[in-house]
Amino acid sequence: MSSQNLQPIQGMSDITTPEIFWWQKVESDARHLLSLYGFEEVRTPVVEYTAVFERSLGDTTDVVQKEMYTFMDRGGRSLSLRPEGTAGVMRFLAGLGPEAAGKRVYYIGPMFRCERPQAGRKRQFHQLGVEALGAANAGADAEMIALQVHLLNQWGLENSTVNINTRGTPEDRQAVSRGLAEALTPQRDQLCEDCKRRFDTNILRVLDCKNEACGKIVDGIPPVTAFMSEASRQYLEQVRRFLKLLNIPVCMNPRLVRGLDYYVHTVWEITHGALGAQNAIAGGGRYQMEMDGRVIEGVGFAFGLERVIASLQQGKPSGPERSVAPLVWLVSLGDKAMEENLVLAQALRQRGVRCELELNKGSMKSQMRAANRAGAAQAVIRGDQELEKGLFVLKNMSDGSQKEVDLPALMNELVRGVVAIEPAK
């Protein structure tokens, strides 16, 4: 294998220490909080039949048209790596039948989009998402946004903004498309090439085009709500009222549409100040999706974890604080001592003591060097003499002091060290 073959695929990353500590913190904080809101975890497969995504995300969306990793399996079936989490979760929930009513689930896992890799945009990235069936109203949408803000606070992520808008109902869609087409027609020729195409295929997407000229044109036309029914406008007002009650400031953003076709009513996106061009850390909204002939309605969101962690790192490059048990290093002088230490190590770990030992034969000096390198707090040294006497040399690595102890005293001392660092209940 050449060294080039040892790199992960472009746009995909190996994630390990020290960055992995951020991932662990973010995920465990989230698991705790999500349980307070009544969410259960679900792990769906990363590969689904392509139709699961085509039908639910909309076959004119960028994700489906340009970004999915799609392939034929050996049985000639078209499969895709999931580009997002909602469609697979809805497939799962629809399969539960009536049991799915009112379910609240969350997922954490990798998503795949074959986009041009750049800062903040990867081909394999990770999302933490939630989906709530049940109440289909403004209160449920506000509760979701409140949960997201709670998560941000729990993680200690400041400087983020919640932008919200509405997509109205499927019944509004025609009137909105017609209204936008009328408003944009006089300047149609000035739109970028992509938007000229979108004008006919998916005119809403003209609204969130990143092209500066398109942005100026869109700023000059009425907001989408102007083309919607009164009921849809009222729904949005309700969401805003509930968020006010919850003390959650949001920005109205009439250009926000979100990329997928399944959204209805409230849509939102959370951005973070420190991220540059790809500054969206989460997206969410209410959706309706057809699964096996049935329409399922839910509300949910997904955080992009790479971006959440990049934002957290801005304020704290040293990483999250961790409390780990002090390390004990077992030093073996001779084959018999190594054999005995292998057994001792297991007994210590079973009592919650973090310990390691060198399983290659090494001199006392090299084993002590390894203990120092690993940051061991104590070393247990055993050679033929100690084995004969049934004793252990226990060495304090910070001040170099050492003493001879028997097995009960050794266990007592090392296990007590673990209990002392256990967090208060």
Q: Which residues bind ligand AMP (CB under 6 A)?
A: 84, 113, 115, 121-122, 125, 127, 259, 280-283, 302, 304, 306-307
Between 303 and 329, CB nearer to ligand AMP = 303
Encoded tokens for 410: 């050794």
Q: 113 or 382: whose CB is closer to ligand AMP? A: 113
**Angle at CA 140, nearest 5°, toward 138 and 146?**
105
CB of 349 to ligand AMP, least distance (A): 37
Q: How far is the CB of 368 from ligand AMP (least distance, A)?
A: 45
**Can you name the residues that pair with 403 across neighbouring β-strands?**
394
Q: What is the DSSP string of 279-333?
A: -EEEEEEEEEEEETTEEEEEEEEEEEHHHHHHHHHHH-TT------PPEEEEEE-
For the CB of residue 121, give the shortest distance to ligand AMP in the complex, in Å. 4
Using alpha carbons only, give the angle 315, 319, 322 rounded to the nearest 5 degrees. Answer: 135
**40, 72 Cβ separation under 8 angstroms:** no
Minimal distance in Å, beta carbon 117 to ligand AMP?
8
Q: List, in order, residues 6 or more apart from 260 with CB less than 8 Å away.
A: 57, 58, 61, 63, 84, 287
Distance of CA 175 to the CA centre of its chain: 36
CB of 244 to ligand AMP, least distance (A): 24
Of 300, 295, 227, nearest to 268 by C-alpha is 300
CB of 208 to ligand AMP, least distance (A): 11
- Minimum CB separation from ligand AMP for residue 270, in Å? 7
- Using Cβ positions, the residue closest to ligand AMP within the complex turns out to be 304
Give the nearer residue to ligand AMP in terms of CB position, either 23 or 125.
Answer: 125
Query: Amino acid identity, residue 312?
Result: L
**Residue the block writes with tokens 């003209």:** 206
Residue closer to ligand AMP by CB (options 224, 302) is 302
Q: What is the SS3 string spanning 150-173?
A: HHHHHHCCCCEEEEEEECCCHHHH
Minimum CB separation from ligand AMP for residue 199, in Å? 22
- What is the C-alpha separation between 384 and 391, in angstroms, rounded? 10
Q: Residue 84 or residue 358: which is nearer to ligand AMP going by CB?
A: 84
Considering beta carbons, is residue 48 or 115 the nearer one to ligand AMP? 115
Q: Are 272 and 301 in contact (CB under 8 A)?
A: no
CB of 125 or CB of 199, closer to ligand AMP: 125
Residue 127 or 160: the one with the smaller Cβ distance to ligand AMP is 127
Cα separation, 194 vs 185, whole angstroms: 15
Given the structure tokens 């079936």, which residue do they identify? 77
Integer Cα distance of 30 and 1 in angstroms: 40
* Cβ at position 17, least distance to ligand AMP in Å: 21
Residue 28 or 118: the one with the smaller Cβ distance to ligand AMP is 118
Structural contact between residues 332 and 358, judged by C-beta atoms closer than 8 angstroms = yes
